[in-house]
Amino acid sequence: MSVLKSILAGFAAMAVGLFFMGVGRQISARLQRRVGPPLWQPYVDVIKCFARKSTSHHFIMDLGSMMGLAGLVAAATLLPVAGWLPFPSGGPLIVILYLMPIGYLGMAMGVSASGNPLAAIGIGRALTLMVGYEVPFAILLLSIVAAFNTSLLSVMAQVQSGGLGTWNAVRMPLGFIAALIAMQAMLAEKPFDAMIAPAEIASGPMVELGGKFLGMAFLQHAVSIYVVTGLVVNMFLGGAASVPVFFLKQLVLFSLTMGVNGIFARFRIEQATAFLWLSAGSLALVQLVLNLILY
């Protein structure tokens, strides 16, 4: 039974993530005064990608692409959605934060095996940026542990279930701002998209991907949108009482991200990392110290 539920959770993550992507493209289009693609366009894209011929350089490339998606799907099955989980895990935040990198490293390994230097440059940037956003995010985890002594997402959501005043976004505003900045970088949206930089390094990691490899990269991005926004909803926006409300909160967060994406230019990678440490990192650190004193 829990196997079936897990499969359901995996597909839901992909489907919801793709829907968010569709909304995101609409937002970008409207900000640029275009009509934009229809909401179902990402689904069509993925299906089309899987139906097309593709090329690969070695089976390590195939393996890496699969590891990339699998890591994020595994993280998605551990994410509590309005308290619902496919199997009783409680939503261990540390495990999720360490399962997501296997996705990124799998992707990295796959595109490295393609031998394209542009891909390697992109991955180098992505990993540099990862140090930029993971450290503030980890400090946020610590500040929540300082306050409630738990690293389980479901418990975090429960603690905040008493209405707007109990939300961590209200109780820990500095931490929430840090989380929003880190989230922007986690989703690789502008100004933190130097690793993709289409005009500069030809989409970086994605440069050699075609057909179903590109399709899996799309799905990976969709699931990462789902997981990252889900983490922030559970950590700061009080989780949700029902599944649609949860998705709605995720969508609001993602729309915000896409709005920022639409109006900013790109940071160079060392600027982006330094900015993340100085802004999100120091905000999160102040929040941690505050929580250590207050709770």
Partner 1 sequence: MNALLLPLLALPAIGIVSLLLFRRARVLQWLLFLLAAGALVATAALLYGRWELSAGLSLGVATLGFRNTPLGWLFFAFSSGLTLFIALFSLSYNDRRHSSGVAPLWMILLAATMGIFFAGDWIAFLVAWEIMGWTSFFIIAHGRESSFRASIYYYTLSLIGTAALLAALFTVWRLTGTLDLDGSLAALAALWTAQPGAVTLVALLLAVSFLAKSALGPFFMWPALAHAEAPDDFSAYLSGVMIKYGLFALVRLVLPLFGPAYAGATVQGTPVFLYILGWIGGLTAVWGTLLAVRENDMKRMMAYSTVSNMGYILVALSVNTVFGVAAALFHIFNHMIFKGTIFLSLAAVKYRTGERQLHRLGGLAYRMPVTFFAFLIGIIAAAGIPPMSGFASKWMVIQSLFSRRMLLLAVPVLFASTASFMYLYRGLHGIYLGQLSPRFRDVRPAPPLQMLAMLLLMLAVYAVGTFPGLALLPIRDALAGLQEVIGAGGVGSQIPVTLGTIMGVSSRINLTTVSFVFLGSFIGVLVLYLLGKRRSRVEWLDTYTAGEDPAEWNMTPEQYHYAYRFYEPFEKMINPLLERLSLERAYESLARSFRRLSGSVARALSGGGAGVAVALLALAVILIVGVAR
Nearer to partner 1, 36 or 80 (CB): 80
Position 229 contacts partner 1 (CB under 8 A): no
Position 259 contacts partner 1 (CB under 8 A): no
Please state the closest distance from residue 266 (CB atom) to partner 1, in A. 13
Nearer to partner 1, 176 or 213 (CB): 213
Residue whose structure tokens are 């799907």: 73
Nearer to partner 1, 27 or 186 (CB): 186
Stated as kind and residue range, the H or E segment containing 213 is helix 211-236
Residue 83 CA to residue 160 CA, distance in Å, equals: 12
Return the residues of window 260-279 that contact partner 1 according to CB under 8 A.
268-270, 273-274
Nearer to partner 1, 264 or 275 (CB): 275
Residue pair 204/54 in contact by the 8 Å Cβ criterion? no
Please state the closest distance from residue 141 (CB atom) to partner 1, in A. 8
Please state the closest distance from residue 238 (CB atom) to partner 1, in A. 19
Alpha-carbon distances of 244 from 45, 66, 233, 247, 249, rounded to whole Å: 25, 30, 13, 5, 9
Residue pair 235/168 in contact by the 8 Å Cβ criterion? yes
Return the residues of window 6-65 that contact partner 1 according to CB under 8 A.
6-7, 10, 49-58, 60, 62, 65
Nearer to partner 1, 27 or 284 (CB): 284
12: tokens are 């839901």
Nearer to partner 1, 135 or 235 (CB): 135
Please state the closest distance from residue 271 (CB atom) to partner 1, in A. 9
**Nearest Cα residue to 61 out of 214, 222, 201, 195:** 214
Please state the closest distance from residue 263 (CB atom) to partner 1, in A. 25
Residue 237 CA to residue 250 CA, distance in Å, equals: 9
Return the residues of window 148-207 that contact partner 1 according to CB under 8 A.
149-152, 202, 207
Return the residues of window 82-101 that contact partner 1 according to CB under 8 A.
87, 89-90, 92, 94-95, 98-99, 101
54: tokens are 């593709």
Among 12, 23, 142, 290, binds partner 1 (CB under 8 A): 142
Position 138 contacts partner 1 (CB under 8 A): yes
Q: What angle do CA 7, 231, 2 make, to 5 degrees?
A: 25
Nearer to partner 1, 248 or 292 (CB): 292
What is the DSSP code (8-state) at residue 160? T
Please state the closest distance from residue 59 (CB atom) to partner 1, in A. 9
Q: How many angstroms separate the first and last alpha carbons of the chain?
A: 40
Alpha-carbon distances of 207 from 149, 210, 266, rounded to whole Å: 44, 8, 19
